[in-house]
Amino acid sequence: MLSSCRKLLVFGAVSSGLGLLGISQQGPIVPRTQSIEKAPVLPKTDIRIDTNLVLIPVTVTDPMNRFVTGLEKENFKILENGKEQTITQFSSEDAPLSVGVIFDCSGSMGAKLQKSRLAVAQFFRTANPEDEFFAVTFADDAKLAQPFTSNIEEIQNRLTFTMSKGQTALLDAVYMGLHEMKKAHNSRKALLLITDGGDNNSRYTETEIKNLVREADVQIYAMGIYEMGAARNRTTEEASGPALLSEIAEQTGGRQYPVENMNEMPDIAAKIGTELRNQYMLGYQPDNLERDGKYRRVTVKLVQPKGMPLLRPFYRQGYYAPGQ
């Protein structure tokens, strides 16, 4: 959202009590052994590459984790597999979004459901009339609670009657969300994942979902509810949740926001909504035009504006080239 005078703007947290929200730096997850039957082969999802144009959404923050807008195209550099590319398209418009809410209803969510519903309601307050939404709920399995709709109340009504029970099929819910996103009408897509732990009941494995996330053109934002003092009672799967969510989200250019105080959940949800509204869209035509279907790593670097503190970009880390 560049003003006519091209000023740099820094957006702070939604609430003064939000504070600095970091990203989990825990190590990689070792996929757990599956005792169930083999899951079906995952279908390929469409990546965001139109003919020879690759589009990368980028969020820029300052050291206080506030959003920075007003940057110029000259403030960005894009590298593909280490080779700099020419940015041919640049914008920072608040384009319509297609968003899927992935909502944990497992047994451990009991006392957390009400705050989680409030967080979704606060997220919706950042919405635009052109946006569309769907909802997936999950416990023992994943269910499409509400297909795509522009009526926010329909989503909220569905979540109002959710009950806490069963285990946690988190990976299956992510798969269902990415599959449903194929029906999106908007080019910008995101999943908002609200959960309190790792997976313990999915058919799909972590490796399968991580590969699918890399192929999909969908940003994933996760709110991981990790209350202080509850760590000693967590299962192995729950303990691995923070690292799993961070790894999945960061590959897509999104982030995980850990929740240690449930009263902060609405503010964090609003912050995620604000982040989606304050992104730059960078487009380039890759020098490598081979249709080899290989994964290409993308790196976005910032050319620091004079007088500004050190800024940090968040962006999708790569894409799969088209096949033959």
User: What is the tens place of the pLDDT at every residue in 80-108?
Assistant: 999 999 999 999 878 899 999 999 999 99
Domain span including residue 192: 97-276
Query: Does residue 13 lie within any of the structural domains?
Result: no
**One domain, residues 108 and 186:** yes
pTM exceeds cut of 0.85: no
Q: What is the pLDDT of residue 41?
A: 45
**One domain, residues 151 and 241:** yes
**One domain, residues 160 and 254:** yes
Q: What is the pLDDT of residue 36?
A: 37
Query: Does residue 126 lie within any of the structural domains?
Result: yes
**One domain, residues 222 and 156:** yes
Q: What is the pLDDT of residue 233?
A: 64
Q: What is the pLDDT of residue 7?
A: 45
Cβ distance 21 to 271 under 8 Å?
A: yes
Q: What is the pLDDT of residue 198?
A: 85
Cα 64 to Cα 82: distance, rounded to the nearest angstrom: 29
- With vertex at residue 143, the alpha carbon angle to CA 137 and CA 148, rounded to the nearest 5 degrees, is 80
Look at the chain and report how many structural domains it folds into: 2
**One domain, residues 247 and 111:** yes
Query: Does residue 75 lie within any of the structural domains?
Result: yes
Q: What is the pLDDT of residue 234?
A: 65
**One domain, residues 269 and 194:** yes
User: Whose CA is closest to 235, among 193, 264, 263, 201?
Assistant: 201
Residue segments in the chain with a per-residue pLDDT below the cut of 70:
1-51, 227-235, 237-238
For the chain, the straight-line distance linking the first and the last C-alpha, in angstroms and rounded, comes to 38
Q: What is the pLDDT of residue 232?
A: 53
Q: What is the pLDDT of residue 239?
A: 76
User: Measured in whole angstroms, how far is the alpha carbon of residue 159 from the centre of its chain?
Assistant: 20
Cβ distance 132 to 171 under 8 Å?
A: no
